[in-house]
Structure 1
């Protein structure tokens, strides 16, 4: 296992696995992915509804609020966007950690990892355009790109911190 970590192959496997998961996810329609039924069972009492009712903003030209879409759709929106950020955090981090041993330059590895993750995000949205009942959004590509960049910067800081501790 140590050998795979040192040469970055384990992280490459994680990145490709994440890409497969994302591809599968974008192949599904909104109805197949919807968690509103589950949320309505888990959150029967609609916790924090009064506080969350005060929140309203625009995303991709549409209003996001409880008044506009209902409590469960509002909560699902944040779960979906959190999933975008988290999956691309993992993808960007994995690409970065796979490239560091190959390129031996953190800045170059970070740039190419971010470029690869952002490119994949754009291709993923294109794939969603081909899937019925899905809407590709530039805003999602931007969110994915920020998630990847955050993962890369996080790993960069951890590497810097660990190298400082070693000396």
Structure 2
């Protein structure tokens, strides 16, 4: 059996993330809501007084405990954190998977970001075809921000590693 090379592992990780995202966007809001679970876990509404001070607009709608209620507000934060986090992983996976195949670091960064951003747009389009889901341009931008953060952080950590250890990680 052939041993996977690290770039292949990252490409596979990117595709696995894309499959998971596709599956997630295939579900209706009712199928994936976490409000009932949050109502059980956060029955005492921890940090409610602190969270009640937070209010902002996202996609033209007010996001606050007063407007959404405590549990829907918590769910909103978790869902948007999941957007950012999954695309963070997707962006850095594409970066590390493409890095050995493309010599120019800036080009790798651009290709990884555009690949991830393109998938984010496709995923929002897919949500439009799913019942009871709202595709949002703002989510694409949030996803792209997560990817770019992952890519930039991995570049900075790699540069720090090379400087502090005096060598390059083996490929």
Same topology, TM > 0.5 = yes
Measured against aligned partners, the alpha-carbon deviations of 1:138-157 in whole angstroms (never above 9, x if no partner) come to: 00000000000000001111
- Identify which range, 97-106 or 154-163, moves more after superposition: 154-163
- Identify which range, 49-58 or 85-94, moves more after superposition: 49-58
Q: May I ask how many residue pairs the two structures share in their alignment?
A: 165
- How far did residue 104 of structure 1 move? 2.0
- How far did residue 166 of structure 1 move? 2.2
1:135 maps onto 2:134 in alignment: yes
CA distance in 2, matches of 1:2, 1:160: 27
Between structures 1 and 2, the one with greater helix share:
1
1:26-105 matches, cutoff 5 A:
26-105=25-104
The SS at the match of 2:9 is helix
Long gaps (5+) in structure 1? none
The SS at the match of 1:47 is coil
In structure 1, the residue matched to 2:166 is 166
CA distance in 2, matches of 1:102, 1:24: 29
CA distance in 1, matches of 2:69, 2:5: 47
Q: What's the TM-score once normalised by structure 2's chain length?
A: 0.93
Q: What's the TM-score once normalised by structure 1's chain length?
A: 0.95
- How far did residue 2 of structure 1 move? 7.7
The SS at the match of 2:150 is helix
In structure 2, the residue matched to 1:147 is 146
1:24 maps onto 2:23 in alignment: yes
Measured against aligned partners, the alpha-carbon deviations of 1:78-98 in whole angstroms (never above 9, x if no partner) come to: 000000000000000000000
Measured against aligned partners, the alpha-carbon deviations of 1:97-156 in whole angstroms (never above 9, x if no partner) come to: 001000022111111000000000000000000000000000000000000000000111
The SS at the match of 2:100 is helix
The SS at the match of 1:103 is coil
